[in-house]
Homo-oligomer: A and B are copies of this chain.
């Protein structure tokens, strides 16, 4: 999808950048959904698209497909790799809350203690930082561009 981009954000988007992908993950993470019919009802998408996304998630290791319950229906359960997308969904939500929610946040993220969840960027040396004080530099994987892009 994003060949030649030696970038972790691009690689993440290769796995979850297609239409509906992150909303399926959202439903699995926060609405406890695991069955095809539940995702379909929640999202109202074409069954072939949903099937393709779920199969893709299984292939990519974001979900495991297991037979469950008396009827042995297929369930799609998030793996740790899939659950680890939570901060991405929180970040998208925070942006939408700020810029595209004129009636207020439709949902709130809450901690089990009852407090609300905030997502912050901080510096390992000096604590919380503002966005405009952040820049990028080459990391250890910077040289492997050509090789990594072909994976």
Contact = CB atoms under 8 A, between A and B. Distances in A.
Contact of A96 (B11, B114, B135): B11
Contacts of A116: 123-124
Contact of A93 (B9, B118, B145): B9
A23 B2 contact: yes
The number of chain A residues touching the other chain, given as a range, is 35 or more
A11 to B, nearest CB: 4
A126 B89 CA distance: 22
Interface in A101-126: 101-126
Interface in A122-140: 122-126, 129, 131-140
Given A96-B9, A107-B137, A123 B131 contact: no
Interface of A: 1-2, 4-15, 17, 19-20, 22-23, 26, 30-31, 43-44, 81, 83-126, 129, 131-145, 147-148, 151
Closest 10 CB pairs of A and B: A8-B96, A115-B125, A104-B140, A105-B139, A111-B123, A104-B141, A103-B144, A11-B100, A115-B123, A103-B141
14 contacts: A7-B23, A7-B107, A11-B100, A12-B95, A12-B100, A17-B19, A31-B136, A101-B148, A102-B141, A110-B136, A111-B125, A117-B122, A119-B119, A120-B120
